[in-house]
Structure 1
Amino acid sequence: MKRKTDGSYTLEAAVLFPLILFIITALLYTCFLLHDKAVIEGKVHLTVLNGEKAAKKCADPVTGEIDYESYLEEGIFRPLYDNSEEAASMKTALQNTITEKVMFARIYSVTVEIKGEEITASVNYGFDMPIRGIEEFLKSGGTKFIYEEEKSFDNNEEFIRVFQVATDSAKELPGADSILKTLQKSIGILQ
């Protein structure tokens, strides 16, 4: 008793298998693209945070480690310092770390600028498509991305110094005691 089977299972598998394989590959590739995007955004954010300390000449521009002695010696002329050396070293470090960590992204340009009391870091990147035909399709719509982040420098240390001088002076002035208590209470609520 031989049983006859139709070739429909083979035909269905021949049609469905490439489709399922393409969907799985597309999902994996999307995960890699999101990974690259997250790495780029994270490294740019870290560069901006370290850049504030480097611009104040109190930290290493690459590692972000604070040098407390140089910070105490900087004086009031810190805003007049030239930060081009720190910006160049941060740009090189950002380019190197991004290039090491990404899988498919192609880095076109990296810029880091420190101007006065603000730092701006941006990365212009695109994605290399390993699937033939998709790269041309996406390039027609444009697959270049720019991620830019800027941060104004906080001057919390200077505020604390000024507030301490004001409170020390206010203790000696008659009638300033009530104003001082009100300020301390409002700052305590904010903390």
Structure 2
Amino acid sequence: MASLLLFNKPFGVLSQFTDAEGRETLARYIDRPGVYPAGRLDRDSEGLLLLTNDGQVQHQIAHPLHKLPKTYWVQVEGEPDKSALQALRQGVRLNDGPTRPAKVKVISEPSLWPRHPPVRARKSVPTTWLELTITEGRNRQVRRMTAAVDHPTLRLVRARIGTWGLDQLQPGEYRVERLHLPKAPFKASPRKR
């Protein structure tokens, strides 16, 4: 039986268990042998990170082929207008090619924990919260997408991956779910002559 660990990754924590430079890692929060991240979340991002003890589950969650939707709450600088939102919905061109279309809407500030250190605030520049859902996972993709429409990301919290959500998990907390997966179909290897 596969285990899936839903972890609320705090700001500043690497999505790995060891680091040669001594930065904070998952090892400080998770003392369960045999689980590994199914995907990544940047050090300066917060929120849902899935870990599992099953390679098949890890592949199904992390591999771009499966297009598992990932939903983020994104605090951006400024107030995106209709054309900026439409550009995100259609897909924006990044230096590594165009993104797939995203779902995006303006939301009220979500009820979140304080971030340490806090997001820098400038009195002369307003901020806006977006809910952004993507189906790919390029390096720093959400940050690059919002920058491409001239609204840099100030805070990024992953709220959901597929059907799994943060719910009431606080930073550094996790819960474990058991998954009952069908076995992969057996493929006979070709006979040698």
Output the TM-score relative to the length of structure 1: 0.21
- Larger relative strand fraction: 2
